[in-house]
Amino acid sequence: ESHFKVIVVSEIFAGLRLVQRHQKIYAVAGDLLSPGKIHALAIHAFLPEEWQGQDTSSPNCAHAPKS
């Protein structure tokens, strides 16, 4: 697998813009995001009150092998 999704719900995102929230997640992910390890990463970063009712479903990969 080279496509991943991260969903983080935390109060630590209070007062932060979307880009700043993503930067915090990138900082924690560190070496996992080095070239060649992950092709695509979808980040969903919410405050607890934002999380309620969110649709975080993902479409099927366009390059997935067909069965």
pLDDT digits (tens, 9 = 90+) for 12-67: 999 999 999 999 998 988 777 777 777 788 899 999 999 987 777 776 766 655 55
Instruction: Tell me the pLDDT band of 1, cut-offs 50, 70 and 90.
Output: low
- State whether residue 25 is helix, strand or coil: helix
CB 44 within 8 A of CB 9: no
What's the confidence (pLDDT) of residue 64? 59
Handedness of CA 57, 18, 29, 7 (dihedral sign): negative
> Who has greater pLDDT, 10 or 60?
10
Tokens representing residue 66 in the block: 């067909």
pLDDT band of residue 3 (cuts 50, 70, 90) is: confident
